[in-house]
Structure 1
Amino acid sequence: NGDYERAIRVFSQIDEPESNLFTGKSYFALGDYKKANAFLNKVIEAELNSNIALEATYTKALVLFQLDDFAASLELLHELKSTGRNNPYYTRAISFYDQLLSYLSIDQIKTVFNQTSNNNILVDVISGALGRVDYSKAQTMLTALKASLIDSNSVDLFQIEAAL
Structure 2
Amino acid sequence: MAEGLPLRLLLIVTGSTLRAEQMDRPLAYYLKQRIEQALASGPYDDVSDYHVQVVADFRWIQDEGLHEMATISLGGPGVNELAHRWLEEVPVSLAYNERYFIQMDPDLNEPRVSIWGMDNPTTQIAVSVFLDRFLPRFLERCASLPPSVLDSDDEGEPEIEADDD
TM-score past 0.5 threshold:
no
Q: Which has the higher strand share?
A: 2
**What is the TM-score of this pair, normalised by structure 1?**
0.23
